[in-house]
Copies of this chain bind each other. A is one copy, B any other.
């Protein structure tokens, strides 16, 4: 009954704001999703899709065949040219628990899509903080540190007191009871006593990667 939908992608965003437009799949019907990917593929040669359900991935795989790479746990698809690592800069991604994997990988795959070198260091919660000691040596060599944590979200505060890099904190929806949905982790990160922590939305792994990329691309040059 309704009119033909316009999908009004913003191909020039990469030039203007430094980050190419990506496709946020959730809430999109299959037709809109496919058209959005097609448009951006034509404009930019490659597209990142985030928060993509298993069902949506099947639709995209059918349409883009060998041109698509997917990670079901992280809800990520990349369509078109896989980026040769440009080594524009580097980011270390630390996660508090193995349950936070899906967000940490959204960040990691997004960072790689944007051309950053990525170190993954997962599953090192604050209850066993001594386990981080040798990892810190390695981490201190990277440009930016992304810390992903659910539940009480304390890890970025601890890391932020131990390294000189800018720390980007990503709260996750991992938890239960009062921790369900990630509000507890978010509030911890916003109220951190370690000064200078950048916070992004709950489960927003892509946002953290985009912020790391903006820091590196703009400031390093």
Where the two chains meet, the residues of A that have a C-beta atom closer than 8 Å to any C-beta of B are 1-3, 5-10, 12-13, 16-19, 22, 24, 26-29, 32, 36, 51, 69-71, 73-74, 76, 78, 89, 96-102, 105, 108-109, 120-129, 131, 143-144, 150-154, 157-158, 160-168, 171, 173-204, 206-207, 210-211, 213-220
Contacts and interface: CB of A to CB of B under 8 A. Distances in A.
Contact of A8 (B12, B123, B181): B123
Nearest to A4: B120
Q: Which 3 A-B pairs have the closest CB atoms?
A: A177-B202, A198-B198, A154-B154
B203 A200 contact: no
Given A162-B17, A187-B187, A151 B192 contact: yes
A193 B125 contact: yes
30 contacts: A3-B120, A5-B122, A6-B121, A6-B123, A8-B131, A13-B128, A13-B161, A17-B163, A18-B163, A26-B174, A28-B98, A28-B99, A126-B161, A127-B157, A127-B160, A128-B161, A143-B218, A152-B157, A152-B191, A153-B188, A176-B202, A177-B186, A178-B201, A179-B201, A180-B181, A186-B190, A198-B198, A198-B211, A216-B219, A219-B220
